[in-house]
């Protein structure tokens, strides 16, 4: 038996809670991953960062709340790191386009760029979210996880 505390009520139950027994807005599941894998590009076309995670919603009316913290660096003059969130092959949002831009030739460690995004995937199939990145200026290096880590967390929210 497990114990559940909700508001001013405590009850004991066994087994999982069915999605239809949970009110809208409650968190049904949380998945998260962290990577320290170094990645870089000099291209202006967005590529996968390696920060990818899947979740399977229990109802097509549920939403997915996405949190991401991405560590980046840019290494050249007149360039910036760009980041976007993708579900499957669909771009959901471009959440940063001028990270680290300073108009100098020195390396600029950006630190962490954060994102929160509420998505309505309208499915009960496994759904993959990923962060993609690019350079704002062709031929100039931008990096991810140069001595640090990046994280993505997905939360299923009852609809």
Domains and CATH numbers, the chain: 22-157 (2.60.120.1340)
Q: Is the pTM of this model over 0.75?
A: yes
Residue with tokens 């969130």: 85
Give 92-114 pLDDT, tens digit per residue: 999 876 665 666 666 666 667 88
Give 114-149 pLDDT, tens digit per residue: 899 999 999 999 999 999 999 988 888 888 998 889
Alpha-carbon separation of residue 91 from 10, 133, 142 (angstroms): 42, 12, 20
pLDDT band at 19 (very low <50, low <70, confident <90, very high): low
User: In this predicted structure, what is the pLDDT of residue 2?
Assistant: 44
CA angle 52, 28, 6 (to 5 degrees): 145
Please say whether the beta carbons of 34 and 148 come within 8 A.
no
Residue with tokens 């009520």: 9
Task: For residue 87, count CB atoms less than 10 angstroms from its CB and return exposed for 0-12, middle for 13-18, buried for 19 or more.
Answer: middle
């Amino acid at each position: 038996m497990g114990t559940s505390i909700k508001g001013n009520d405590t009850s004991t139950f066994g087994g999982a809670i069915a999605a239809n027994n949970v009110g809208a807005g409650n968190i049904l599941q949380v998945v998260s991953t962290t990577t320290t894998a170094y990645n870089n590009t000099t291209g202006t076309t967005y590529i996968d960062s390696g920060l990818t995670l899947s979740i399977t919603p229990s109802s097509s009316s549920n939403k997915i709340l996405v949190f991401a913290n991405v560590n980046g660096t840019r290494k050249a003059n007149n360039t910036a790191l760009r980041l976007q969130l993708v579900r499957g092959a669909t771009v959901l949002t471009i959440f940063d386009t001028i990270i680290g831009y300073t108009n100098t030739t020195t390396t600029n460690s950006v630190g962490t760029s954060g994102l929160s995004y509420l998505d309505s995937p309208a499915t009960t199939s496994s759904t993959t979210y990923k962060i993609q990145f690019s350079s704002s200026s062709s031929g100039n290096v931008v990096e991810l996880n140069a001595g640090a880590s990046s994280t993505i967390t997905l939360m299923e929210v009852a609809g």
